[in-house]
């Protein structure tokens, strides 16, 4: 185990951080045994009502009615009720600024460049919300996004949440079956969709795929087409309007519906390991307060920051980084391949835009090194204060690469959580050093532990990641799970009343955390979590295949998908059939699901399902 310290916070900068400010506030009021992060974290998990109540006040969440109690029973999982009596609106908190400061910078690999001020963003959301209301959208309706990571995705989400409707999004590179597996469960009333997208210099059409999706999605009453690739054709659809027609000029005011803390904001999806992806419902209040805690305290995000995260609208990091608008920061959305037209494309963008917090995946950093990119030769990145990495464990080699070849004086924060909590269990900290291979700390208010099968806590040994106390960003429920059975079985069947996340971790002597991959049947190629069941559903419908098994083949710091197939009688596993299988998986699921290898087996594979 490499215990090398790679970065130490500058005392002057650390003392001015929001984490230090919050620590001082709590220490002064509650008299911690020691004015340190370790004692602050211990206090936060031992006194969850006090901690979350204090952070509510510190973060200045906009609300119309104050809560009567922070939590009814933080020891109850699932089922704890947070901030009872509070009334608020997520969109109102993200749109509190209405000035000329830049809110969104958009860059597409196709040379498209746009930006919106907070004033302009508010105006676009106002018109879009008015348009949605004219379509009959009301509180509780589901609105879907089949969109690239572009401003209209954020505008659509904010307009949806201002009404109290529920937003659910998918990336346009998902296959038809992958989209239907998700959206058919929630029956959206309206779907936002771009006409296409760009990737590796190529233009892809989304409208033909959308037509096939709509054929099996009868709940959709209106399609809102967004012009991105200049190919919008509403005539192809029986119920389509353009985004401009939806968000046409109007005098209607933007009304932020005041909703309970646990009112649904997002529906997100599990990886579909053992069946259809589970539809996870996240609350507006829980999402907001958790994101603000992580952004303000753990990332030290302020209104002076320019925050970039390379993500699609199908990954929870999109939802996470968009909440930066609530802090008044500028966010940078990018659509396309991160290595197009050259491997240093995003680094040059970061230099051009003075990005202060650069978010990406562990795979991206490893690829930079493998491509021989030396970021410090591009710029010294004077304003870059933090690099965030998630999606898969960040290797020790990648830690060393960043400090050797990118920037020595930068906080490298490996972070980990998931779609399940739309946030992080473990993440960075501006007050703590960075050790090679380690995530810096457990998140405030997150009662994270590493335990063995008997439930005994471990230090210096691998075990299961669990959380022993409730927290506000837990799912409020799963869609179409009236008795809560799927929800309970997903997280609480292994250790009663303890959240079991399905990750192997190791907690070090200095309090750092090392991630050691999934402990369930989920695969994690390239840092993107996918479920084997999604691949099985495609392969089982092919006449040439009698049976199959999907496994993850461990590589150094990564995992690749391997598909074993038992062929139907008379079939031969030719290169043509392999291409057909891969094409079907790519079209129905996504490029990330495509196996690196397809191998033949003569035996049935019943052990593989799960």
Beta-strand relationship, 264-269 and 279-283: antiparallel
Q: DSSP character for 152?
A: H
Q: Convert the pLDDT of each residue in 8-62 to its tens digit.
A: 999 999 999 999 999 999 999 999 999 999 999 999 999 999 999 999 999 999 9
Average pLDDT over residues 342-349: 97
Q: Convert the pLDDT of each residue in 423-432 to its tens digit.
A: 999 999 999 9
Q: Convert the pLDDT of each residue in 29-38 to its tens digit.
A: 999 999 999 9
Q: What is the pLDDT of residue 528?
A: 63
Q: Convert the pLDDT of each residue in 399-416 to its tens digit.
A: 999 999 999 999 999 999
Is-contact 144 171, C-beta < 8 A?
no
Q: What is the pLDDT of residue 610?
A: 31
Whether residue 563 has pLDDT greater than 60 = yes
Whether residue 187 has pLDDT greater than 90 = yes
Whether residue 248 has pLDDT greater than 90 = yes
Q: What is the pLDDT of residue 300?
A: 98
Average pLDDT over residues 194-210: 95
Q: What is the pLDDT of residue 535?
A: 84
Interior angle at CA 496, CA 490 and CA 497, nearest 5? 90
How sure is the predictor about 5, in pLDDT bands with cuts at 50, 70 and 90?
Answer: very high
d(CA 327, CA 325): 5
Nearest CA among 64, 34, 78, 61 for reference residue 499: 78
Task: Give the burial string for 103-136 (b: 16+ CB within 10 Å, else e).
Answer: bbbbbbbbeeeebbbbebbbbbbbbbbbbbbebe
Q: What is the pLDDT of residue 607?
A: 36
Give every CB contact of residue 195 below 8 A, 6+ residues apart in sequence. Answer: 205, 206, 207, 225, 226, 227, 228, 229, 230, 231, 232, 233
Q: DSSP character for 568?
A: P
d(CA 270, CA 262): 20
| pTM recorded for the entire structure | 0.87
Give me 301's structure tokens: 């995000």
Q: Convert the pLDDT of each residue in 466-516 to its tens digit.
A: 999 999 999 999 999 999 999 999 999 999 999 999 888 899 998 999 987
Q: What is the mean pLDDT of the chain?
A: 93
d(CA 185, CA 71): 31
How sure is the predictor about 568, in pLDDT bands with cuts at 50, 70 and 90?
Answer: confident
Q: DSSP character for 326?
A: G
Whether residue 520 has pLDDT greater than 80 = no
Q: What is the pLDDT of residue 591?
A: 85
Q: Convert the pLDDT of each residue in 60-76 to its tens digit.
A: 999 999 999 999 999 99
d(CA 282, CA 168): 10
How sure is the predictor about 552, in pLDDT bands with cuts at 50, 70 and 90?
Answer: confident
Give me 475's structure tokens: 């799912």
Q: DSSP character for 592?
A: G
Q: What is the pLDDT of residue 521?
A: 53
Domains of the chain: 102-257 (3.40.50.980), 522-608 (3.30.300.30)
What percentage of the chain carries pLDDT values higher than 90? 82
Return the H-helix or E-strand segment holding 190: strand 190-194
DSSP of 343-409: TTHHHHHHHHTT-SEEEEEHHHHHHHHHTT--GGGT---TT--EEEEESSPPPHHHHHHIIIII-SS
Beta-strand relationship, 423-427 and 441-442: antiparallel
Q: What is the Cα gyration radius of the chain?
A: 23
């Amino acid at each position: 185990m490499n215990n090398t310290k790679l970065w130490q916070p500058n005392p002057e900068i650390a003392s001015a951080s929001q984490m230090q400010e919050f620590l001082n506030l709590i220490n002064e009021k509650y008299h911690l045994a020691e004015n340190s992060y370790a004692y602050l974290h211990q206090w936060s998990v031992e006194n969850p009502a006090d901690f979350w109540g204090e952070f509510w006040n510190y973060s200045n969440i906009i609300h119309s009615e104050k809560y009567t109690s922070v939590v009814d029973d933080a020891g109850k999982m699932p089922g704890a009720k947070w901030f009872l009596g509070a009334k608020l609106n997520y969109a109102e908190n993200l749109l509190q600024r209405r000035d000329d400061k830049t809110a969104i910078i958009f860059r597409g690999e196709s040379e498209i460049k746009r930006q919106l001020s907070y004033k302009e963003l508010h105006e676009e959301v106002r018109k879009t919300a008015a348009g949605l209301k004219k379509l009959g959208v009301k509180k509780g309706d589901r609105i879907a996004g089949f969109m690239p990571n572009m401003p209209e995705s954020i505008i659509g989400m904010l307009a949806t949440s201002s009404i109290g409707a529920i937003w659910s999004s998918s990336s346009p590179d998902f296959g038809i079956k992958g989209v239907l597996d998700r959206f058919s469960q929630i029956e959206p009333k309206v779907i936002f969709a771009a006409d296409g997208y760009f990737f590796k210099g190529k233009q892809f059409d989304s409208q033909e795929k959308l037509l096939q999706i709509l054929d099996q999605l009868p709940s959709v009453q209106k399609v809102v087409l967004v012009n991105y690739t200049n190919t919008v054709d509403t005539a192809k659809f029986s119920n389509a309007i353009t985004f401009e027609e939806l968000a046409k000029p109007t005098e209607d005011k933007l009304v932020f519906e005041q909703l309970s803390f646990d009112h649904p904001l997002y529906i997100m999806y599990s990886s579909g390991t053992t069946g259809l992806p589970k539809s996870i419902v996240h609350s507006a209040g829980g999402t907001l307060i958790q994101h603000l805690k992580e952004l303000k305290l753990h990332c030290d995000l302020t209104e002076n920051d320019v925050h970039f995260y390379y993500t699609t609208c199908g990954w929870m990091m999109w939802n996470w980084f968009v909440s930066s608008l609530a802090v008044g920061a500028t966010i940078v959305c990018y659509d396309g391949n991160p290595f197009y037209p050259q491997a240093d494309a995003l680094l040059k963008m970061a230099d051009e835009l003075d990005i202060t917090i650069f978010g990406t995946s562990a795979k991206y950093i490893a690829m930079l090194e493998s491509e021989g990119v030396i970021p410090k030769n591009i710029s010294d990145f004077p304003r870059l204060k933090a690099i965030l990495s998630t999606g898969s464990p960040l290797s020790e080699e990648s830690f060393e690469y960043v400090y050797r070849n990118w920037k020595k004086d930068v906080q490298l924060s490996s972070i980990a959580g998931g779609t399940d909590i739309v946030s992080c269990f473990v993440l960075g900290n501006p007050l703590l050093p960075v050790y090679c291979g380690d995530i810096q700390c457990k998140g405030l208010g997150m009662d994270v532990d590493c335990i063995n099968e008997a439930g005994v806590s471990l230090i210096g040994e691998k075990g299961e990641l669990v959380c022993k106390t409730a927290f506000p960003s837990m799912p409020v429920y799963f869609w179409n799970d009236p008795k809560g059975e799927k929800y309970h079985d997903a997280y609480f069947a292994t250790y009663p009343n303890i959240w079991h996340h399905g990750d192997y971790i190791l907690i070090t002597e200095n309090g750092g955390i090392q991630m050691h991959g999934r402990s369930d049947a989920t695969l994690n190629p390239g840092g993107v979590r996918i479920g084997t069941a999604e691949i099985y559903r495609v392969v089982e419908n092919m006449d040439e295949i009698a049976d199959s098994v999907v496994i993850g083949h461990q590589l150094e710091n990564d995992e690749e998908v391997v598909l074993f197939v038992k062929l139907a009688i008379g079939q031969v596993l030719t290169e043509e059939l392999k291409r057909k299988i891969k094409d079907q998986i790519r079209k129905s699921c996504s490029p990330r699901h495509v196996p690196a290898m397809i191998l033949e087996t003569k035996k049935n594979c019943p052990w593989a399902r799960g």
